[in-house]
C-alpha cells in the first residue's frame, strides 16, 4: 500500500514532462517546430503596411519607426494623396508633410527625411527606389531594418528585418541572447532557411502581436513558448 502510494506521489506530472521535453529539444528541433506552427497559423502573410509600390512602402516603413502599423495606415492615404512619387513629394512643403504625419510621432525628423530622400531618389536614382542595401541605407531616415523590409517585400531579396517583436520572441524562444538587433538578426539568419526569411519574419511578428506580446502576455495561449521557451518562462506554467 505504501509502495503504491509512493509511486503515485512521485509519478512525473505534465509540467515535469514538458520541462524534460524542453531540455531534450535542441535548436534544430525548435526551429522545425516553430516554422511548422507558424505556417499552420499564418499560411498567408500580407505586408501589414498599405502601399502600392516600392516608394510608398519605403515611406510607410519610415513612418512606422516608433509607431504602430495600424496608425501609419491611417496617415498614409492623406500623405499619398498629397504626393505618391518622389518627384511630387520633393515639390511639397516640409511643413505640410509634417502636419499630415504628426500622428505617427517624430514628425519634424520624419518629414525632413521624406522630403530629402525624395530629392535624392530623383537626383541620384532617376526617381526609383534602389534595389541595394547600401544605397537604401544612405538615404535619410533609412536604417538597416527599413532597408531590409523594402528589399524583402518590394524586391523579393532574402532579408530578415528585426523589429521589437522578433527581438522579444527570439529571446523568449532561446534562439538568441537578445543582446541587440544585430546579434538577433545574425542568429535568425543562421538558424532559419534563407528561402523562408521573407515570409517567416512576418509570421513571427504576427505571432508576437497575437500570442506573445510584451505586455499582457498569457502563457496559456502561447503554445510555441510553452514548447520551446527558455526555462525562466516555461517554469511559470
CATH number at residue 204: 1.10.1670.10
The verdict on whether 179 is a catalytic residue reads no
C-alpha span between 88 and 118 (Å, rounded): 9
Whether 145 is catalytic is: yes
Provide the domain count of the chain. Answer: 2
In a domain, 7, yes or no: no
SS3 content of the chain, % helix, strand, coil (to 5): 65, 0, 35
Among candidate residues 50, 135, 163, 189, the one labeled active-site is 163
- The verdict on 149 and 164 lying in the same domain is no
Residue ranges in 140-236 assigned as alpha helix (H): 144-153, 164-172, 181-191, 197-210, 223-228, 231-234
Measure the CA angle with vertex 30, ends 148 and 214; round to 5°. 60
Catalytic one of 30, 110, 145, 227: 145
Cα angle 186, 190, 194; round to 5: 105
229 inside domain: yes
pLDDT, residue 1, reads 44
- Answer yes or no: is 5 within a domain: no
Q: How far apart are CA 139 and CA 135, in angstroms?
A: 7
Which 3 state secondary structure label does DSSP give 122? helix
Averages of pLDDT over runs of 10 residues in the chain (237 residues) are 38 52 72 97 95 98 95 98 98 97 97 98 97 97 97 97 96 92 96 97 97 93 93 75
Closest Cα to residue 63, out of 118, 122, 111? 111
Shared domain for 113 and 194, answered yes or no, is no
The last residue of one of the domains, among 131, 153, 175, is: 153
Residue 214 lies in a domain: yes
Distant-in-sequence, close-in-space partners of 138: CB < 8 Å, separation ≥ 6? 120
Domain boundary among 153, 171, 186: 153
Do 141 and 212 have their domain in common? no
Looking at the domain assignment, is residue 4 inside a domain? no
Q: Provide the CATH number for the domain around residue 137.
A: 1.10.340.30
Q: Are residues 146 and 218 in the same domain?
A: no
Element (H, E) at 120: helix 107-125
Would you state the cell numbers that stand for residue 107, as one nine-digit string? 514628425
Do 59 and 148 lie in one domain? The reply is yes
pTM for this entry: 0.85
pLDDT at 179: 84
What is the extent of the structural domain holding 97?
A: 54-153
Q: What is the pLDDT of residue 17?
A: 56
Residue 31 lies in a domain: yes
Domain termination site, one of 134, 153, 172? 153
Same domain flag for 171 and 113: no
Q: Are 135 and 69 contained in the same domain?
A: yes
Amino acid at each position: 500500500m505504501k509502495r503504491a502510494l509512493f509511486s503515485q506521489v512521485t509519478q512525473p506530472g505534465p509540467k515535469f514532462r514538458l520541462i524534460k521535453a524542453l531540455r531534450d529539444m535542441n535548436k534544430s528541433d525548435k526551429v522545425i517546430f516553430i516554422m511548422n506552427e507558424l505556417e499552420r497559423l499564418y499560411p498567408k502573410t500580407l505586408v501589414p503596411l498599405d502601399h502600392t509600390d516600392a516608394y510608398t512602402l519605403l515611406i510607410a516603413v519610415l513612418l512606422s519607426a516608433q509607431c504602430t502599423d495600424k496608425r501609419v495606415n491611417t496617415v498614409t492615404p492623406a500623405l499619398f494623396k498629397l504626393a505618391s512619387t518622389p518627384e511630387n513629394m520633393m515639390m511639397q512643403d516640409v511643413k505640410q508633410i509634417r502636419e499630415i504625419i504628426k500622428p505617427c510621432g517624430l514628425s519634424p525628423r520624419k518629414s525632413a527625411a521624406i522630403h530629402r530622400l525624395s530629392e535624392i531618389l530623383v537626383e541620384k536614382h532617376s526617381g526609383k527606389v534602389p534595389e541595394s542595401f547600401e544605397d537604401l541605407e544612405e538615404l535619410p531616415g533609412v536604417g538597416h531594418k527599413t532597408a531590409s523590409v523594402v528589399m524583402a517585400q518590394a524586391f523579393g531579396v532574402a532579408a530578415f528585418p528585426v523589429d521589437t517583436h522578433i527581438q522579444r520572441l527570439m529571446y523568449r524562444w532561446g534562439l538568441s541572447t537578445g543582446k541587440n538587433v544585430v546579434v538577433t538578426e545574425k542568429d535568425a539568419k543562421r538558424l532559419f532557411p534563407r528561402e523562408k526569411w521573407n515570409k517567416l519574419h512576418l509570421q513571427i511578428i504576427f505571432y508576437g502581436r497575437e500570442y506573445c506580446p510584451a505586455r499582457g502576455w498569457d502563457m496559456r495561449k502561447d503554445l510555441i513558448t510553452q514548447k520551446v521557451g527558455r526555462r525562466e518562462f516555461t517554469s511559470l506554467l
